[in-house]
Amino acid sequence: MDTNSLKQKVTLEKHISALMSILAEVHGPDQLALKAGKLDSLELMQSEKLEDKVLALERLVHEDPTIVEQRPPEEVQEVLHELEEYLADMLARRTVEEQLEQKISAKMQERHLEYVKEIRMQVLKEETGPDNAQTLKKYAELELLEQRSLSQSTSDLMRPQRLEEVVGQDEAIKSLLTKLSSPFPQHILLYGPPGVGKTTVARLALQYAKEKSHTPFLEDAPFIEVDGTTLRWDPREVTNPLLGSVQDPIYQGAKRDLAEGSVPEPKLGLVTEAHGGVLFIDEIGELDPLLQNKLLKVLEDKRVLFESSYYDSDDPQIPKYIHQIFTKGAPADFVLIGATTRDPEDISPAFRSRCAEVFFNPLTPPDIVDIVKAAAKRLNTLLEDGVAELIADYTIEGRRATRLLADAYSVALYADEALEQSETIVTKIHVQEVIQSARLSSYVGAKASDNKEVGRILGLGVNSYLGSVLEIEAVAFPSKEPGKGLVRFNDTAGSMAKDSVFNAASVFRAVTGEDLNNFDLHVNVVGGGNIDGPSAGVAIFAAIISAVKGLPIPQDIAVTGEISIRGKIKAVGGMHPKIYGAKHAGVKTVFVPKDNWDDISQITEGVDVIPIEHVSEFLKHVFQSDIADLKYSLAT
């Protein structure tokens, strides 16, 4: 080896030794030896070959045992320069980190007392809280109040616990269940008078649906109930308990931890609380029209969207859940069940087009009797014969019937205490006392009887979902001058009813060949009830012909239908409640237009319904043998 090569080798060995010394200072001699063992470099470090020492140095610097390629002598100098640069960077970085650690330690030392003080105050606050002696006294008083409670209300006690206990609504229950307990449940509108079980059936229907494996409802599916008459909201979206709102941090008082960062706080509404279950809105027709439109949007999207001028999507201080609510909205996938006592025509067409419709029937007297007897069992009391029937005369609402029984039960308890009786029995005297103190009047204005009367017949009317019997009467006297008779009719009955009188007069002349102008005729609807429609036409005609001809009419029949001037009987509306009204009044036979037969053929149990299409058929049924006195000139 020549002199230059020898000098170059010595220089490289010194360079390698210097780099090894730097590594020893960085890691420490012992740690460096352990590291070399792990990297399989100990033998290479102790080797006499320059190439082995360079390979060991590469493995130690890069901490990579997979480096196996030995550098040729001409590349050794270049490799050493690269390792030297790498070590220089590492030492510089370590120096900076040590300086930062020193500064941090200094700052921590400066703030140490302040941190300790803050932590001490926080611990004290958590242990003691914001309470003082006065607030703790108030809390104790509140706890004492919580321990006191009265017995459950009669409404809770009397409410049916199973669908089988609901009286008089078999058809509506079946219809509701088929629409709700399905793989694809529908939004539903429930129509019917108050107190017939709409809310109870809706609640029990969800329980029924949750038991079916083919429905999407889980065991914990919620039933959220709200009353549309008391639901209030602010159009500025400051508050909206139904859909939800946003509490801005400055003006509306979001939580303190959010307000300090100017973060708006979303307040989720009932539609999100009902997610996966049923949202029941009683008296849905009373909702504000604008709120109804917003609810329709939620039904379509199955999600509620929120907006706020304070929301910044790039703000790192906003929690993830608030980011998600503002970007994606809050879930609101539920089934809407709305109940109303209004007519379908009074409900928003947009709601009706999105909902299936179920109609609850008015309760009949036998239904009320069953409800009262079942309620008596829950009260664990006995009823005197006729008590349930007496209550049925004063209400058609199941809720009111149970309340009347509960009031009569209280009267009976008061009397038993005075008489020291061992067993409480509710009598008709107790019920009558409640009726008098509440100043109630019988629901049934006119009742059917087995008698026959001249010039009097029972018609059928309807107000909302409640059918009723109308007492229509007529009297006729020969006029003082032939052809100059007068026809009088009470104005309160309505203009359409007055038109029915004129139509009946024309039919009377066609049927009998006589002119009503030869008679002074007075037609009256007893009680002054308004007849909003032509459905009393046949009844008015029958009362007139009975008064003029002196023909008695059975008082256990009722009739409804529009009469044309040719004697045809036309279809009318409200047939379902009219039939129930007839049953409630004890009517045995109801005459209805033939065109309405398909509407009511399934609800005729308990009353004989006869469809007719011409007045001649009606006259034959009503007057029977007396019909020979009439002169028919109309073609049937």
List the structure tokens of 315: 């703000």
In a domain, 140, yes or no: no
Which of 610, 607, 616 is closest to 634 using CA atoms?
A: 616
What is the total residue count of the chain?
636
| Rounded CA separation 574/193 (Å) | 14
Structure pTM? 0.67
Q: Are residues 409 and 468 in the same domain?
A: no
Digit-coded pLDDT (tens) for 308-326: 877 777 777 788 888 888 8
Is residue 130 assigned to a domain?
no
Q: Which of 337, 402, 340 is nearest to 192 (CA)?
A: 340
pLDDT of residue 38: 76
Rounded to an integer, the average pLDDT of 518-524 is 86
Question: Which amino acid does the sequence have at 142?
Answer: L
Question: Are residues 388 and 463 both part of a single domain?
Answer: no
Virtual torsion, Cα 276, 281, 285, 288, nearest 10 deg = -80
User: Looking up tokens 């909206």, which residue turns up?
Assistant: 240
Residue 337 has pLDDT above 90, yes or no: yes
Q: 15: how many CB neighbours lie within 10 A of its CB?
A: 18
* CATH number of the CATH domain containing 369: 1.10.8.60
Same domain, 332 and 371: no
- Integer-rounded Cα radius of gyration of the chain: 46
User: For 101-145, what is each residue's pLDDT tens digit?
Assistant: 888 777 777 777 777 777 776 766 665 556 667 777 777 878 888
Whether 350 and 370 map to the same domain: the answer is: no
pLDDT (mean) for 354-363: 88
- Which residues are 279's β-sheet partners? 224, 336
Alpha-helical segments (H) within 211-358: 256-259, 270-273, 289-301, 320-328, 349-354
Residue 129 lies in a domain: no
Confidence at 626, pLDDT banded by 50, 70, 90: very low
Q: Are residues 353 and 233 in the same domain?
A: yes
What are the residues whose beta carbons fall under 8 Å from the beta carbon of 254, sequence distance 6 or more? 247, 248, 263, 264, 265
CA dist 128 → 131, 133, 134, 423, 476 (Å):
7, 11, 14, 56, 92
Q: Are residues 236 and 328 in the same domain?
A: yes
Pairing status of strand 188-191 against strand 335-340 = parallel
- Whether residue 310 sits in one domain with residue 172: yes
pLDDT digits (tens, 9 = 90+) for 225-284: 999 888 887 776 678 888 888 877 665 555 555 655 567 788 889 999 999 999 999 999
The answer to whether the beta carbons of residues 432 and 384 sit under 8 Å apart is no
Q: Is residue 128 part of a domain?
A: no
State whether 202 and 90 are in the same domain.
no
Amino acid occupying residue 181: S
Within-domain flag for 444: no
Picking from 438, 472, 499, the residue at the C-terminal end of a domain is 438
Q: Is residue 14 part of a domain?
A: yes
Supply 526's token pair.
Answer: 């007893």
Q: What is the DSSP string of 403-470?
A: HHHHHHHHHHHHHHHHHT-SS-EE-HHHHHHHHHHHT---S-SS---S-EEETEEEEEEEETTEEEEE
H-run or E-run covering 53: helix 50-62
232 and 349 in a common domain: yes
Annotated catalytic residue, options 535, 568, 570, 631: 535
**Residues 279 and 316 both lie in one domain:** yes
Distance CA 507, CA 546 (A): 14
Residues 472-496 pLDDT 10s: 898 988 888 887 888 887 666 555 6
For the chain, what is the domain count?
4
Q: Are residues 285 and 183 in the same domain?
A: yes
Question: What does the alpha-carbon distance between residue 499 and residue 506 come to, in Å, rounded to a whole number?
Answer: 11
The set of residues, in sequence order, having a beta carbon less than 8 Å from that of 103 and lying 6+ positions away, is: none
Please report, for the chain, how many H helices and E strands are present, in that order.
Answer: 23, 22
Confidence of residue 35 (pLDDT cuts 50, 70, 90): confident
Q: Which of 320, 340, 359 is the last residue of a domain?
A: 359
- CATH code for the domain in which residue 299 is found: 3.40.50.300
Q: Please tell me whether residue 565 adopts helix, strand or coil conformation.
A: coil
Q: How much of the chain exceeds pLDDT 70, in percent? A: 86
Flag whether pLDDT at 625 surpasses 50: no
The b-or-e profile of 302-340 (16+ CB within 10 A means b, else e) is ebbbbebebbeeeeeebeeebeebbeebbebbbbbbbbb
Answer with the one of 412, 438, 464 that is the final residue of a domain: 438
Domain with residue 492: its CATH number is 3.30.230.10
Residue 122 covered by a domain: no
pLDDT band at 462 (very low <50, low <70, confident <90, very high): confident
- Centre a 10 Å sphere on the Cβ of residue 137 and count the other Cβ atoms it contains: 11
Domain that holds residue 10: 3-96
Q: Which of 198, 294, 578, 583 is catalytic?
A: 578
Question: Annotated catalytic, 578?
Answer: yes
Element (H, E) at 12: helix 3-27
Q: Which two tokens stand for residue 261?
A: 């960062």
Helix, strand, coil shares, percent, the chain, to 5: 50, 15, 35
Q: Are residues 575 and 526 in the same domain?
A: yes
- The string of pLDDT tens digits covering residues 399-436 is 888 889 989 988 888 887 655 556 788 898 999 998 89
**350 CB-contact burial (10 Å; exposed 0-12 / middle 13-18 / buried 19+):** middle
pLDDT band at 171; cut points 50, 70, 90: confident
Lookup result for tokens 């002169």: 631
